[in-house]
Amino acid sequence: MEPGFWHDKWQQQQIGFHQSDINPFLVRHWHSLNLAKGSKVFVPLCGKSMDMEFLAAQGHEVLGCELSVLAVEQFFEAASAQAQVVRHGEHVHHSAKGIELVQGDFFTLSHDLVAQCQGFYDRAALIAWPAEMRIDYAKKLAELIPSGARGLLVTLDYPQEALSGPPFAVSPDWVETFLGPWFEVTPLECQDVLAENPRFIKKAVPWLSEAAFKLVRR
């Protein structure tokens, strides 16, 4: 997916991937990571997700990365926060209320920026990539995340031929095969969520499952 694809989606507000509520898997399973209050948490491809406010409410510093400046601005507008804006090279940092969103290309983030993060959360990043680009994302994520950091991954899985995506189908086997070399992978929960996703029903997708995994960087 080229950057222009996502810029167009945000410009046209075609953001079906955005959830208007906090993800229930996050609420149920975040505590299993046992991260201390004050721990810094990295959220790649964060959009304007309310999940970041949940993380901040748990006492974490939140570091998000998002390509679209519209998404960043809309996040802080919804939070009724005036962000402090500072440019560092090609990235623009927006900060308020313990949340820092780095607007720019995920693939050009430096390891030093994420090195102090003890946790991470991926709900809409891994599933945003088609299969041929997903491995590059996984490699970059592993490069950024420091050893010992603990994360929560939420995925969707369905027959890929039934829908072109995004979001793209990511199976538990894919997670184990392609993330396993860098992360200890522990499945936490898997649920049938087809009834809650009318877009998939309308496209006659026969089944849809959402799963949560605990990841620990080796």
154-175: per-residue pLDDT in tens?
A: 999 999 999 988 999 999 999 9
pLDDT digits (tens, 9 = 90+) for 72-89: 999 999 999 999 999 999
CB 149 within 8 A of CB 217: yes
What CA–CA distances, in Å, run from 26 to 133, 178, 211? 25, 22, 11
- Position 5 scores a pLDDT of 54
Q: Give tens-digit pLDDT for 90-117.
A: 999 999 999 999 999 999 999 999 999 9
All domains in the chain, ordered by first residue: 3-8+22-217 (3.40.50.150)
